[in-house]
């Protein structure tokens, strides 16, 4: 497929491989292995002298179609699918690091990512330093002669703080040119932020989120330069086996066809909701990268093409008031997942971030009144009505409904 076609076009067609039956929709190759025409053919494929698949842990046609379409979306030379987002993060970092190396990462990370950096990698002799991701001087001060990776998410979960990706890449250039800048781009989505263009080397996704977009299956992706992937990553993926299931690859591949439609709609609705929430008396603070009152609004405009499908807000009071709002919602569902067609709300302090010490939560700005909302594809008016009614009810302005009413 020509890379002169626009992104929307490529997301419908890129990477497709038709079988001899000429199917319109991409086929699902739900097979573990592949049959060879001759013993010589098998030997040639194993020797790397003939093209072709040998085993689905190494590669599978449906997975390849997903990888090619993802690479087109990200503007990356190559992509590898993985079984989950955490498998992508773990494989990318273990391929970039070895015992004796050092990694600098933002402290505001998805729980699993923080475990990999803070606990898992050090078990194998990798030193790690967590910094305040918003503070470029902290990134710079943390660099050591053995720094081989920088890792960040932007916007962060759940407070939607930003890391200046180009700023970290400039520190890499100046102080640790061999180090890889690895960006978990889940919250920004591939549509609104292109870390490779900002100087990152490797981008990882939990495809479980917006890429699936309908809450069905787990998946992940690692994107970067072809040579790095072939020389460093492939051996790790092949021998440790976090292979993406062809079934999940097929679901994710078909989802990429509608990704721009979904992300645009969800982002527009998130903007409407952020503005509506900001006017409610019960809401102390709204955090949305698309609003001018975001603490890093200038950086948001510089590095993101639009806001996000996620927003966070703090209700007046603490945990009790936040729970009251959450429990009063009818349309918005309570769930810690995100990027779904269904709007989902979570209370980070008692769910996704409950394992952090209270001081660590406070340092990240996660107060007990904070709620995170992943905006879905419902009608914006219905969502505004549901949130407003829940907030009114929590504020005691409307009577509680009677059971059975
Ligand atoms: C969900 C998520 C992950 C982990 O992805 P899984 O598919 O659940 O393994 C990693 N990073 C971020 C930012 C996420 O939101």
> What CATH number did the domain enclosing 301 receive?
3.90.1150.10
Query: Is 209 touching ligand 1 by the criterion CB < 6 Å?
Result: yes
Ligand 1 mean position, distance from CA 87 (Å): 9
102 and 233 together in one domain: yes
pLDDT at 355 over 90: no
Ligand 1 mean position, distance from CA 110 (Å): 7
Which contiguous run of DSSP H or E holds residue 80? strand 78-82
Whether 405 maps to a domain, the answer reads: no
Q: What is the torsional sign of CA 298, 301, 303, 307?
A: positive
List the residue whose alpha carbon is closest to atom 15 of ligand 1.
186
pLDDT at position 405 is 43
pLDDT at position 282 is 95
For 15-41, how does the pLDDT look when each residue is reduced to its tens digit (9 = 90+)?
999 999 999 999 999 999 999 999 999
Q: Edge-to-edge strand order for the sheet containing 180-184?
A: 78-82, 220-224, 202-206, 180-184, 147-153, 102-106, 127-131
Q: How far apart are CA 189 and CA 7, in angstroms?
A: 14
Query: Is 80 touching ligand 1 by the criterion CB < 6 Å?
Result: no
Pocket test for ligand 1, best of 206, 309, 312 (most atoms within 8 A of CB): 206
Query: Is 133 touching ligand 1 by the criterion CB < 6 Å?
Result: no
228 and 333 together in one domain: no
**pTM of structure:** 0.96
pLDDT at 392 over 70: yes
Lowest mean pLDDT among 27-41, 263-277, 386-400: 386-400
Per cent of the chain over pLDDT 70 is: 97
pLDDT at 398 over 60: no
Ligand 1 mean position, distance from CA 392 (Å): 33
Whether 360 maps to a domain, the answer reads: yes
Domain final position from 228, 258, 288? 258
342 and 231 together in one domain: no
pLDDT at position 397 is 58
Contact 153, 106 (CB under 8 A): yes
Whether 2 maps to a domain, the answer reads: no
pLDDT at 152 over 80: yes
Q: How far apart are CA 52 and CA 90, in angstroms?
A: 27
323 and 204 together in one domain: no
Give the chain's mean pLDDT.
96
Whether 399 maps to a domain, the answer reads: no
23 and 168 together in one domain: yes
Domain final position from 189, 224, 258? 258
Query: Is 186 touching ligand 1 by the criterion CB < 6 Å?
Result: yes
Please state the rounded mean pLDDT for residues 288-305.
Answer: 97
pLDDT at 403 over 80: no
Contact 257, 186 (CB under 8 A): no
Query: Is 155 touching ligand 1 by the criterion CB < 6 Å?
Result: no
pLDDT band at 387 (very low <50, low <70, confident <90, very high): very high
Pocket test for ligand 1, best of 107, 208, 220, 344 (most atoms within 8 A of CB): 208
- Structural domain span for residue 357: 259-394
310 and 348 together in one domain: yes
Ligand 1 mean position, distance from CA 323 (Å): 24
pLDDT band at 404 (very low <50, low <70, confident <90, very high): very low
List the residue whose alpha carbon is closest to atom 1 of ligand 1.
206
- The gap from C-alpha 225 to its chain's centroid, in whole angstroms, comes to 19
Query: Is 108 touching ligand 1 by the criterion CB < 6 Å?
Result: no
For 223-252, how does the pLDDT look when each residue is reduced to its tens digit (9 = 90+)?
999 999 999 999 999 999 999 999 999 999
239 and 214 together in one domain: yes
What is the total count of domains within the chain?
Answer: 2
CATH code for the domain in which residue 90 is found: 3.40.640.10
């Amino acid at each position: 497929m020509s890379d002169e076609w626009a992104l929307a076009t490529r997301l419908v067609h890129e990477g497709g491989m038709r079988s001899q039956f000429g199917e319109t929709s991409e086929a699902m190759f739900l097979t573990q292995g592949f049959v060879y025409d001759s013993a010589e053919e098998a030997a040639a494929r194993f020797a790397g002298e003939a093209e072709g698949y040998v085993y689905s842990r190494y590669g599978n046609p449906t997975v390849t179609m997903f990888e090619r379409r993802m690479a087109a979306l990200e503007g990356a030379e190559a992509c590898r699918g993985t079984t989950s987002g955490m498998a992508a993060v773990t494989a990318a970092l273990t391929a970039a690091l070895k015992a004796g190396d050092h990694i600098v990462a933002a402290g505001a990370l998805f729980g699993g990512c923080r475990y990999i950096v803070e606990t898992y990698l050090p078990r194998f002799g990798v030193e790690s330093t967590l910094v305040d991701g918003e503070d470029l001087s902290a990134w710079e001060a943390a660099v050591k002669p053995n720094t081989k990776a920088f890792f960040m998410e932007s916007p962060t979960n759940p407070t939607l703080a930003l890391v200046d990706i180009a700023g970290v890449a400039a520190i890499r250039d100046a102080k640790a040119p061999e180090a890889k800048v690895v960006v978990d781009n889940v919250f920004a989505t591939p549509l609104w932020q292109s870390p490779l263009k900002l100087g990152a080397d490797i981008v990882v996704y939990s495809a479980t989120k917006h890429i699936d977009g309908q809450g069905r299956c787990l998946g992940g992706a690692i994107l970067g330069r072809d040579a790095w992937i072939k020389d460093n990553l492939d051996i790790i993926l092949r021998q440790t086996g976090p292979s993406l299931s062809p079934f999940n690859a097929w679901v994710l591949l078909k989802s990429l066809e509608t990704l721009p439609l979904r992300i645009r709609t969800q982002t527009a609705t998130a903007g409407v909701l952020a503005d509506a929430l900001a006017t409610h008396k019960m809401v102390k603070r709204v955090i949305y990268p698309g609003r001018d009152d975001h603490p890093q609004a200038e950086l948001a405009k510089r590095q993101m093409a639009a806001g996000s499908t996620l927003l966070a807000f703090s209700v007046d009071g603490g945990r009790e008031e936040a729970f009251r709002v959450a429990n009063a919602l009818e349309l918005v569902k309570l769930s810690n997942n995100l990027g779904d067609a269904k709007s989902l709300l979570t209370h980070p302090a008692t769910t996704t971030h409950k394992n952090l010490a209270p001081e660590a939560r406070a340092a990240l700005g996660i107060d007990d009144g904070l709620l995170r909302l992943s905006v879905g594809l419902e009608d914006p008016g219905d969502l505004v009505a549901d949130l407003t009614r829940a907030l009114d009810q929590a504020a005691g302005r409307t009577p509680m409904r009677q059971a059975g009413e």
